[in-house]
């Protein structure tokens, strides 16, 4: 199994082309996505190794730390390789208590972009994603015209090269595309969260990248704890058959779902990073894919859906993350 990002293929991300397996940096912080990582040297090693293994798409945000991950990226990789695309997310702010609040006014967005530029050491952000509130339960009736137009103004000024949107619905995607061309859409999507099936296909026809967000930057790659025993058994059976881990199979399924899907798993060690990138070399046959597609019909995600805190909601992080644990408790 090839342990590089190159086995995942390539896709257009705005005016650039990147490997479909990238890296999401949210895990490179302390508990509750606040403060520095427990092992700074390990975090720097992960970032350096990711680029060595062909990762040319890094996902980050000034929200992480705040500014911790951006500073780590700069320390590990600046001056940046020419082919590296750094994607950031704006539209929220962190509270002193570690909460997430929306920050969608023109002034707030400008401040976020300028802070990201300073901490990353860039003259212009490669891609700036407008992060709307409501991950998992997006606020469908809310217009994103005003904040996206503010970002488009920053693009005209040369502070941002490409625009994207995150945590939004199909209706909001259509609204956004009426305002400005999109490099990508970032949304919650995996084997058991498939609300965006039709949207993924629509964007693929138009050559717009879809970045699958589903907890990969927050905890581990795939929310195995959200699966029922029957769903987990199906995933484990396929994994054993193809000689891969369940996480690798979950990534391989995403890569096989549509050619415009990008995946940005997070890792806090080089070993974990290499395992996840090896998913690009996992081959799923038609029978494997058909079996995995059955998972969504076997009960779906648990009650309550995905954590509202990830989308800037009022709830705060789940207890297992709030307490600084590595992952959710066993079900």
User: What does the block give as tokens for 47?
Assistant: 């970032």
Task: Indicate the helix (H) or strand (E) that contains 163.
Answer: strand 160-166
Cβ–Cβ < 8 Å for 209, 257: no
Please state, rounded to an integer, the average pLDDT across all residues of the chain: 86
Residue listed under structure tokens 């994207």? 164
Q: ∠ CA(42), CA(23), CA(56), 5° rounding?
A: 110
Residue listed under structure tokens 């407008």? 130
Separation between Cα atoms, residue 10 and residue 20, nearest integer Å: 5
Q: What is the pLDDT of residues 35-82, one digit of tens each?
A: 999 999 999 999 999 999 999 999 999 999 999 999 999 999 999 999
User: In the chain, which residue ranges form alpha helices assigned H by DSSP?
Assistant: 40-52, 68-77, 106-120, 145-156, 170-177, 197-205, 229-242, 246-257, 270-277, 286-293, 319-322
Separation between Cα atoms, residue 168 and residue 139, nearest integer Å: 8
Separation between Cα atoms, residue 128 and residue 160, nearest integer Å: 7
Q: What is the pLDDT of residues 308-322, one digit of tens each?
A: 323 323 233 333 233
DSSP states of 252-268: HHHHHH-TTEEE----S
pTM of the model: 0.88
How many CB atoms are closer than 10 A to CB 304? 12
Q: Which residues are the active-site residues? A: 64
pLDDT tens-place values along the chain, 331 residues long: 557 899 899 999 999 999 999 999 999 999 989 999 999 999 999 999 999 999 999 999 999 999 999 999 999 999 999 999 999 999 999 999 989 999 999 999 999 999 999 999 999 999 999 999 865 455 567 899 999 999 999 999 999 999 999 989 999 999 999 999 999 999 988 888 888 999 999 999 999 999 998 543 333 345 556 788 899 999 999 999 999 999 999 999 999 999 999 999 999 999 999 999 999 999 999 999 999 999 989 875 544 444 332 332 323 333 323 333 333 322 2
Cβ–Cβ < 8 Å for 61, 69: yes
């Amino acid at each position: 199994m090839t342990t590089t990002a190159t086995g995942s293929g390539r896709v257009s991300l705005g005016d650039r082309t990147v490997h479909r397996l990238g890296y999401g940096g949210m895990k490179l912080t302390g508990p509750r996505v606040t403060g520095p990582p427990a092992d700074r040297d390990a975090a720097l090693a992960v970032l350096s190794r990711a680029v060595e293994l062909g990762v040319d798409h890094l996902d980050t945000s000034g929200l992480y730390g705040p500014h911790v991950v951006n500073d780590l990226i700069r320390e590990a990789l600046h001056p940046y390789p020419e082919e590296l695309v750094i994607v950031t997310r704006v539209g929220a702010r962190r509270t002193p208590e570690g909460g997430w609040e929306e920050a969608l006014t023109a002034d707030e967005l400008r401040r976020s972009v300028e802070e990201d530029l300073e901490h990353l050491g860039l003259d212009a952000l490669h891609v700036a994603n407008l992060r709307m509130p409501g991950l998992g339960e997006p606020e469908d009736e809310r217009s994103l015209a005003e904040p996206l137009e503010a970002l488009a103004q920053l693009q005209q000024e040369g502070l941002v090269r490409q625009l994207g949107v995150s945590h939004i619905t199909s209706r909001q995607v259509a609204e956004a595309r009426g305002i400005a061309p999109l490099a990508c859409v970032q949304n919650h999507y995996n084997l058991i969260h498939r609300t965006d099936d039709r949207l993924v296909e629509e964007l693929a026809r138009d050559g717009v990248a879809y970045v699958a967000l589903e907890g990969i930057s927050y905890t581990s790659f795939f929310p195995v704890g959200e699966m029922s025993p029957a769903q987990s058994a199906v995933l484990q059976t396929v994994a054993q058959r193809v000689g891969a881990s369940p996480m690798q199979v979950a990534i391989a399924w995403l890569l096989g779902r549509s050619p415009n899907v990008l995946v940005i798993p997070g890792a806090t060690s080089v070993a974990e990073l290499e395992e996840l990138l090896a998913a690009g070399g996992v081959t799923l046959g038609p029978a494997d894919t058909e079996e995995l597609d059955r998972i969504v019909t076997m009960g779906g995600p648990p009650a309550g859906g995905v954590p509202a805190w990830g989308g800037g909601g009022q709830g705060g992080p789940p207890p297992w993350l709030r307490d600084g644990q590595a992952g959710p408790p066993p079900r």
